[in-house]
Amino acid sequence: MVADATVTTVPFFRRDVIGAATANMPTRSTSAMGRRRSILLRIGEALGVIEIPHPLPRLAASEPTAPYAEDEVLELRAWAHNQRDSSYRASARALLALGMGAGLPTRDICEVRVEHVLAAGSFIIVAGNNPRLVPVLPTWTEDLVELTATSQTGVLFRPGTRWHKNIVTVFAARSTGAKIRPSTQRMRASWLVHHLAEGMPMQDLLHAAGLASMDALVRYQRFLPAQSLAARLDTTALPSLESVSPSPRHRSRR
Protein backbone atom coordinates (compact mmCIF):
# COMPACT_ATOMS: atom_id res chain seq x y z
CA MET A 1 0.00 0.00 0.00
CA VAL A 2 1.37 3.40 -0.90
CA ALA A 3 1.47 5.67 2.13
CA ASP A 4 1.86 8.93 0.28
CA ALA A 5 0.60 9.31 -3.27
CA THR A 6 1.04 12.63 -5.06
CA VAL A 7 -1.10 13.46 -8.08
CA THR A 8 1.13 14.84 -10.78
CA THR A 9 -0.53 17.64 -12.70
CA VAL A 10 -0.07 17.05 -16.40
CA PRO A 11 -0.90 19.59 -19.11
CA PHE A 12 -3.70 17.46 -20.51
CA PHE A 13 -6.48 19.24 -18.66
CA ARG A 14 -6.21 22.65 -20.30
CA ARG A 15 -9.01 24.29 -22.18
CA ASP A 16 -7.02 24.64 -25.40
CA VAL A 17 -5.82 21.02 -25.26
CA ILE A 18 -9.32 19.71 -24.53
CA GLY A 19 -10.76 21.84 -27.33
CA ALA A 20 -8.21 20.59 -29.86
CA ALA A 21 -8.59 16.96 -28.74
CA THR A 22 -12.36 16.90 -29.05
CA ALA A 23 -12.25 18.73 -32.39
CA ASN A 24 -10.04 15.94 -33.78
CA MET A 25 -12.11 13.07 -32.44
CA PRO A 26 -12.84 10.34 -35.05
CA THR A 27 -16.55 11.18 -35.10
CA ARG A 28 -18.77 13.60 -36.95
CA SER A 29 -21.34 13.70 -34.16
CA THR A 30 -21.26 17.16 -32.61
CA SER A 31 -23.33 15.93 -29.67
CA ALA A 32 -20.76 13.22 -28.88
CA MET A 33 -17.93 15.71 -29.14
CA GLY A 34 -19.81 18.12 -26.90
CA ARG A 35 -20.39 15.45 -24.25
CA ARG A 36 -16.72 14.41 -24.21
CA ARG A 37 -15.56 17.99 -23.97
CA SER A 38 -17.93 18.70 -21.07
CA ILE A 39 -16.72 15.58 -19.20
CA LEU A 40 -13.04 16.52 -19.63
CA LEU A 41 -13.67 20.09 -18.53
CA ARG A 42 -15.52 18.92 -15.42
CA ILE A 43 -12.64 16.54 -14.57
CA GLY A 44 -10.14 19.37 -14.92
CA GLU A 45 -12.24 21.58 -12.68
CA ALA A 46 -12.55 18.79 -10.09
CA LEU A 47 -8.76 18.30 -10.08
CA GLY A 48 -8.29 22.00 -9.62
CA VAL A 49 -6.19 22.46 -12.75
CA ILE A 50 -8.90 24.29 -14.71
CA GLU A 51 -10.32 27.42 -13.18
CA ILE A 52 -14.08 27.46 -12.87
CA PRO A 53 -15.17 30.68 -14.58
CA HIS A 54 -17.47 32.96 -12.65
CA PRO A 55 -20.77 33.37 -14.48
CA LEU A 56 -21.35 36.81 -15.89
CA PRO A 57 -24.55 38.62 -14.94
CA ARG A 58 -27.32 38.08 -17.45
CA LEU A 59 -27.86 41.04 -19.74
CA ALA A 60 -31.33 42.45 -19.97
CA ALA A 61 -33.02 41.84 -23.30
CA SER A 62 -33.42 44.90 -25.48
CA GLU A 63 -36.91 46.30 -25.73
CA PRO A 64 -38.57 45.77 -29.12
CA THR A 65 -39.47 48.81 -31.16
CA ALA A 66 -43.17 49.56 -30.86
CA PRO A 67 -45.26 49.76 -34.04
CA TYR A 68 -47.21 52.89 -34.93
CA ALA A 69 -50.79 53.20 -33.77
CA GLU A 70 -53.50 53.94 -36.35
CA ASP A 71 -53.82 57.60 -35.35
CA GLU A 72 -50.04 58.00 -35.63
CA VAL A 73 -50.13 56.61 -39.17
CA LEU A 74 -52.71 59.24 -40.08
CA GLU A 75 -50.45 61.91 -38.61
CA LEU A 76 -47.54 60.65 -40.68
CA ARG A 77 -49.63 60.76 -43.85
CA ALA A 78 -50.53 64.37 -43.07
CA TRP A 79 -46.85 65.11 -42.37
CA ALA A 80 -45.86 63.77 -45.79
CA HIS A 81 -48.50 65.75 -47.70
CA ASN A 82 -47.67 69.00 -45.91
CA GLN A 83 -43.99 69.24 -46.80
CA ARG A 84 -42.58 72.45 -48.22
CA ASP A 85 -42.17 71.46 -51.90
CA SER A 86 -43.06 68.69 -54.35
CA SER A 87 -39.64 67.03 -54.14
CA TYR A 88 -39.75 66.77 -50.36
CA ARG A 89 -43.37 65.63 -50.43
CA ALA A 90 -42.52 62.86 -52.91
CA SER A 91 -39.63 61.60 -50.78
CA ALA A 92 -41.76 61.75 -47.64
CA ARG A 93 -44.50 59.72 -49.28
CA ALA A 94 -41.97 57.24 -50.66
CA LEU A 95 -40.43 56.85 -47.23
CA LEU A 96 -43.79 55.95 -45.70
CA ALA A 97 -44.88 53.69 -48.55
CA LEU A 98 -41.63 51.72 -48.53
CA GLY A 99 -41.14 51.72 -44.77
CA MET A 100 -44.70 51.29 -43.56
CA GLY A 101 -46.04 49.48 -46.61
CA ALA A 102 -43.13 47.13 -47.26
CA GLY A 103 -41.19 47.15 -43.99
CA LEU A 104 -37.90 48.03 -45.67
CA PRO A 105 -34.85 49.13 -43.66
CA THR A 106 -33.00 52.32 -44.53
CA ARG A 107 -30.56 50.97 -47.11
CA ASP A 108 -33.24 49.06 -49.02
CA ILE A 109 -35.50 52.12 -49.06
CA CYS A 110 -32.77 54.19 -50.67
CA GLU A 111 -32.09 51.58 -53.37
CA VAL A 112 -35.66 51.17 -54.64
CA ARG A 113 -36.15 52.44 -58.18
CA VAL A 114 -39.24 52.77 -60.34
CA GLU A 115 -38.58 49.45 -62.10
CA HIS A 116 -38.51 47.66 -58.74
CA VAL A 117 -42.20 48.40 -58.13
CA LEU A 118 -44.33 45.61 -59.59
CA ALA A 119 -47.98 44.63 -60.02
CA ALA A 120 -49.51 48.07 -59.53
CA GLY A 121 -47.51 48.70 -56.38
CA SER A 122 -48.29 45.34 -54.77
CA PHE A 123 -44.69 44.10 -54.68
CA ILE A 124 -41.20 45.53 -54.32
CA ILE A 125 -38.07 43.89 -55.69
CA VAL A 126 -35.20 44.31 -53.24
CA ALA A 127 -31.81 43.86 -54.88
CA GLY A 128 -28.37 43.98 -53.27
CA ASN A 129 -26.89 41.43 -50.88
CA ASN A 130 -30.27 40.07 -49.78
CA PRO A 131 -32.49 39.95 -52.88
CA ARG A 132 -36.15 39.18 -52.30
CA LEU A 133 -39.72 39.99 -53.32
CA VAL A 134 -41.61 41.97 -50.70
CA PRO A 135 -45.41 42.31 -50.58
CA VAL A 136 -46.79 45.80 -50.04
CA LEU A 137 -49.77 46.45 -47.80
CA PRO A 138 -52.82 47.41 -49.89
CA THR A 139 -53.19 50.78 -48.14
CA TRP A 140 -49.87 51.92 -49.64
CA THR A 141 -50.01 50.61 -53.21
CA GLU A 142 -51.75 53.69 -54.59
CA ASP A 143 -48.98 55.92 -53.26
CA LEU A 144 -46.35 53.79 -55.00
CA VAL A 145 -48.25 53.86 -58.29
CA GLU A 146 -48.43 57.67 -58.20
CA LEU A 147 -44.79 58.03 -57.17
CA THR A 148 -43.49 55.76 -59.92
CA ALA A 149 -45.61 57.56 -62.51
CA THR A 150 -44.30 61.01 -61.56
CA SER A 151 -40.66 60.16 -60.78
CA GLN A 152 -38.24 62.03 -63.03
CA THR A 153 -35.05 60.29 -61.89
CA GLY A 154 -36.16 56.71 -61.30
CA VAL A 155 -35.20 56.89 -57.62
CA LEU A 156 -38.13 57.14 -55.20
CA PHE A 157 -36.51 58.38 -52.00
CA ARG A 158 -34.06 61.32 -51.94
CA PRO A 159 -32.92 61.22 -55.57
CA GLY A 160 -29.52 62.83 -56.05
CA THR A 161 -28.57 62.41 -52.39
CA ARG A 162 -25.63 60.18 -51.54
CA TRP A 163 -26.52 57.36 -49.17
CA HIS A 164 -25.40 57.44 -45.54
CA LYS A 165 -26.70 55.56 -42.52
CA ASN A 166 -28.50 58.62 -41.10
CA ILE A 167 -30.14 59.71 -44.33
CA VAL A 168 -33.69 59.06 -43.05
CA THR A 169 -33.00 60.68 -39.67
CA VAL A 170 -31.56 63.80 -41.29
CA PHE A 171 -34.43 63.96 -43.78
CA ALA A 172 -37.03 63.72 -41.01
CA ALA A 173 -35.23 66.29 -38.84
CA ARG A 174 -35.19 68.82 -41.69
CA SER A 175 -38.84 68.27 -42.54
CA THR A 176 -41.60 70.63 -41.51
CA GLY A 177 -44.76 70.24 -39.46
CA ALA A 178 -46.15 67.43 -37.30
CA LYS A 179 -45.00 66.45 -33.86
CA ILE A 180 -44.40 62.88 -34.96
CA ARG A 181 -41.62 61.98 -37.40
CA PRO A 182 -41.08 58.70 -39.25
CA SER A 183 -38.69 56.07 -37.91
CA THR A 184 -37.61 53.17 -40.12
CA GLN A 185 -37.47 50.89 -37.06
CA ARG A 186 -41.05 51.68 -36.04
CA MET A 187 -42.34 51.45 -39.60
CA ARG A 188 -40.70 48.05 -40.03
CA ALA A 189 -42.15 46.94 -36.69
CA SER A 190 -45.62 48.01 -37.88
CA TRP A 191 -45.25 45.98 -41.07
CA LEU A 192 -44.02 42.89 -39.22
CA VAL A 193 -46.74 43.02 -36.57
CA HIS A 194 -49.42 43.43 -39.25
CA HIS A 195 -48.31 40.28 -41.08
CA LEU A 196 -47.89 38.33 -37.84
CA ALA A 197 -51.42 39.26 -36.80
CA GLU A 198 -52.78 38.31 -40.22
CA GLY A 199 -51.18 34.87 -40.01
CA MET A 200 -48.74 35.18 -42.90
CA PRO A 201 -46.81 31.87 -43.20
CA MET A 202 -43.66 32.20 -41.14
CA GLN A 203 -41.27 31.09 -43.88
CA ASP A 204 -42.79 33.65 -46.25
CA LEU A 205 -42.53 36.44 -43.69
CA LEU A 206 -38.91 35.61 -42.86
CA HIS A 207 -37.99 35.68 -46.55
CA ALA A 208 -39.86 38.91 -47.29
CA ALA A 209 -38.36 40.62 -44.24
CA GLY A 210 -34.87 39.41 -45.05
CA LEU A 211 -34.56 37.64 -41.70
CA ALA A 212 -32.70 34.40 -41.06
CA SER A 213 -34.38 33.25 -37.86
CA MET A 214 -37.74 33.40 -36.11
CA ASP A 215 -35.93 34.66 -33.01
CA ALA A 216 -36.15 38.16 -34.46
CA LEU A 217 -39.96 37.94 -34.56
CA VAL A 218 -40.63 36.59 -31.07
CA ARG A 219 -39.98 39.99 -29.52
CA TYR A 220 -43.02 41.44 -31.34
CA GLN A 221 -45.45 38.97 -29.76
CA ARG A 222 -46.45 41.50 -27.11
CA PHE A 223 -47.85 43.81 -29.81
CA LEU A 224 -50.16 41.23 -31.38
CA PRO A 225 -53.88 41.75 -30.81
CA ALA A 226 -55.61 39.25 -28.57
CA GLN A 227 -57.31 36.35 -30.34
CA SER A 228 -56.43 37.61 -33.79
CA LEU A 229 -57.10 34.16 -35.29
CA ALA A 230 -60.50 33.79 -33.63
CA ALA A 231 -61.49 37.21 -34.94
CA ARG A 232 -60.95 36.00 -38.53
CA LEU A 233 -63.04 32.84 -38.17
CA ASP A 234 -66.48 32.74 -39.74
CA THR A 235 -68.36 31.97 -36.55
CA THR A 236 -71.69 31.81 -38.37
CA ALA A 237 -70.60 28.49 -39.88
CA LEU A 238 -69.77 27.01 -36.49
CA PRO A 239 -72.29 25.42 -34.10
CA SER A 240 -73.07 27.35 -30.95
CA LEU A 241 -71.63 26.08 -27.72
CA GLU A 242 -75.11 25.47 -26.34
CA SER A 243 -75.93 23.08 -29.20
CA VAL A 244 -72.87 20.90 -28.66
CA SER A 245 -73.73 17.85 -26.56
CA PRO A 246 -71.15 16.84 -23.95
CA SER A 247 -69.19 13.65 -24.43
CA PRO A 248 -70.71 10.66 -22.55
CA ARG A 249 -67.56 10.23 -20.52
CA HIS A 250 -67.88 13.82 -19.27
CA ARG A 251 -71.52 13.60 -18.27
CA SER A 252 -72.01 13.68 -14.56
CA ARG A 253 -73.03 10.40 -12.99
CA ARG A 254 -76.29 10.26 -11.17
Do 100 and 216 lie in one domain? The reply is: yes
β partners of residue 125: 133
Domain count across the chain? 2
Q: What is the dihedral of CA 95, 96, 101, 105, to 10 degrees?
A: 40
Do 97 and 218 lie in one domain? The reply is: yes
Helix 184-198 to helix 86-99 angle (10° resolution) is: 40
Whether 119 is in a domain gets the answer yes
Do 78 and 37 lie in one domain? The reply is: no
CA distance 109 to 170: 15
Do 32 and 80 lie in one domain? The reply is: no
pLDDT value for 254: 46
Do 24 and 74 lie in one domain? The reply is: no
- Give the CATH number for residue 212: 1.10.443.10
Whether 253 is in a domain gets the answer no
Residues 6+ apart with CB under 8 A from 133: 118, 123, 124, 125, 126, 208
Whether 254 is in a domain gets the answer no
Residues 6+ apart with CB under 8 A from 139: 101
Do 88 and 43 lie in one domain? The reply is: no
Distances, alpha carbon 33 to alpha carbons 20, 36, 219, in Å: 11, 5, 33
Look up the domain containing 23 and give its range.
Answer: 15-47
Does the pLDDT at position 163 exceed 60?
A: yes
Do 34 and 83 lie in one domain? The reply is: no
Nearest to 41 by CA among 22, 18, 24: 18
pLDDT value for 25: 81
Do 116 and 164 lie in one domain? The reply is: yes
pLDDT value for 1: 46
Whether 207 is in a domain gets the answer yes
* Residue range 84-116, pLDDT digits in tens: 999 999 999 999 999 999 999 999 999 999 999
Do 26 and 137 lie in one domain? The reply is: no
* Residue range 35-68, pLDDT digits in tens: 888 888 888 778 777 777 777 676 666 778 899 9
Whether 250 is in a domain gets the answer no
